[in-house]
């Protein structure tokens, strides 16, 4: 019997680990999974409905680490998780994504000689000013099994000297969750609540420090939104960090006067999936949305100079535009004129990545 401790630190991690836990439970005769939530991010949207609507397993253990600096969070996770591993002997620790909890869990497991499997291994932006990039590099250096979502991730790992036998190409597990929930999302009434018609608006997310923590940069993005809004309304679920910066930089009144911009509170997964999957164009600085819009064939402009998911640019609908207002506007307006193309789904983004992940763990355990 394989004892596997699965570690998550934030809501997106739950979205990725849920299909994996389901698959492990289908093999209950061979695998005993334990789900540990570090509590790195407190998220009000992780209510009872979050787990029930999306059929996501509730954590067996919640460490309730809470917020803090990157070093503080990492240290707290390491101390708390060491106690968990001492109490629950494990054959594997599975980590997902690139949050601080991912790296912290990998460090603890490595020091305690517990094998590490990293889901979403090999993703690289090439930008080490991003804390997530540090987390990715460290986690992959320590992992015993590197589970990659795309072939470019394999190339990154080989270039960094990872032994080929440690790498397994399994596909994108986030797409498993997307496919599982598309029908549920279509039952959402969010478009009716917001008085929106499909394909007649843009959807936007914005939260990264590089975009919202500088007054001039954030004001420039608003300039671009004003230009785009002359063509189509923009629906903007506002991240708490972004709302704070708008107030801090005295931009709240300006953005509030924009008739073409609908600012709303953050949405749950199903409502947000329904919102952006019916939009004409998505503007974002998030990571996962680049992948999901690619699979759904929705034009996406990523307000970053780089991406750890280049396959969404090479094979998908994503374009990197940075945060200069003139570039955002120049790319957005033609995108609104072009008819939506057919989705080009990357290799193994087929909804069956979780089964391949668990297969790879079992194979590596023999």
CB 85: neighbour CB atoms within 10 A? 18
Token pair 């992992």 is found at: 143
How far apart, in whole angstroms, are the C-alpha atoms of residue 175 and residue 49? 21
Which structure tokens are listed for 81?
């998780």
Question: What is the β-pairing status of strands 167-169 and 202-204?
Answer: unpaired
Q: Which of 112, 90, 120, 106 is nearest to 38 (CA)?
A: 106
88 is a catalytic site residue: no
The CA distance from 227 to 331, in Å, is 12
Query: Which one is catalytic: 88, 207, 239, 352?
Result: 207
- Could you tell me the end-to-end alpha-carbon distance of the chain, in angstroms, rounded to an integer? 12
Dihedrals φ, ψ of 78, to 5°?
Answer: -60, -45
**Please, are residues 291 and 177 in contact by the beta-carbon 8 Å criterion?**
no
- Spatial separation of the C-alpha atoms in residues 353 and 291, rounded to whole Å: 14
Sheet strands (E) in the chain: 2-8, 31-37, 61-62, 92-96, 115-119, 145-148, 167-169, 202-204, 234-237, 261-264, 281-284, 300-302, 318-320
Question: Six-digit token pair at 207?
Answer: 């939260």
Give the integer Cα–Cα distance in Å for 105 and 38.
Answer: 9
Tell me if 341 sits within 8 A of 297, measured CB to CB: yes
SS3 content of the chain, % helix, strand, coil (to 5): 50, 15, 35
**Distance of alpha carbon 17 from alpha carbon 81, whole angstroms:** 18
- The C-alpha angle 138, 141, 145, rounded to 5 degrees, equals 120
Annotated catalytic sites, by residue?
Answer: 207
């Amino acid at each position: 019997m394989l004892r596997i401790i699965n570690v998550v630190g934030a809501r997106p991690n739950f979205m990725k680990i849920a299909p994996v836990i389901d698959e492990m439970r289908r093999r209950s005769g061979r695998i005993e999974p334990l789900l540990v939530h570090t509590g790195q991010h407190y998220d009000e949207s992780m209510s009872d409905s979050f787990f029930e609507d999306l059929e996501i397993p509730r954590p067996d253990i919640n460490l309730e680490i809470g917020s803090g600096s990157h070093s503080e969070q990492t240290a707290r996770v390491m101390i708390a998780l060491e106690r968990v591993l001492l109490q629950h002997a494990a054959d594997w620790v599975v980590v997902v994504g690139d949050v601080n909890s991912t790296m912290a869990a990998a460090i603890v497991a490595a020091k305690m000689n517990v094998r590490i499997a990293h889901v979403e291994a090999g993703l690289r932006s090439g930008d080490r000013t991003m804390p997530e990039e540090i987390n990715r590099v460290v986690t992959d250096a320590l992992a015993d099994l590197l589970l990659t979502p795309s072939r470019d991730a394999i190339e990154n790992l080989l270039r960094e000297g990872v032994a080929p036998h440690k790498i397994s190409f399994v596909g994108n597990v986030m797409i498993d969750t997307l496919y599982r929930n598309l029908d549920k999302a279509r039952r959402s009434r969010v478009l009716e609540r917001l008085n929106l018609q499909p394909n007649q608006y843009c959807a936007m997310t914005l939260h990264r420090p590089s975009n919202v923590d500088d007054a001039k940069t954030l004001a420039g993005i608003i300039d671009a939104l004003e230009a785009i809004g002359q063509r189509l309304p923009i629906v903007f679920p506002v991240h708490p960090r972004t709302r704070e910066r708008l107030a801090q930089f005295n931009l709240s009144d300006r953005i509030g006067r924009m008739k073409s911009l609908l600012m709303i509170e953050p949405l749950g997964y199903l409502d947000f999936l329904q919102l952006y999957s019916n939009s004409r164009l998505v503007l974002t600085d998030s990571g996962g949305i680049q992948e999901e819009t690619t699979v759904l064939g929705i034009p996406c402009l990523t307000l970053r100079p780089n991406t750890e998911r280049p396959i969404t640019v090479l094979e998908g609908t994503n374009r990197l535009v940075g945060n200069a207002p003139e570039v955002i506007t120049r790319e957005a307006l033609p995108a609104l004129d072009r008819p939506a193309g057919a989705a080009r789904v990357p290799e193994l983004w087929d909804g069956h990545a979780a089964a391949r992940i668990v297969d790879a763990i079992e194979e590596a355990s023999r």
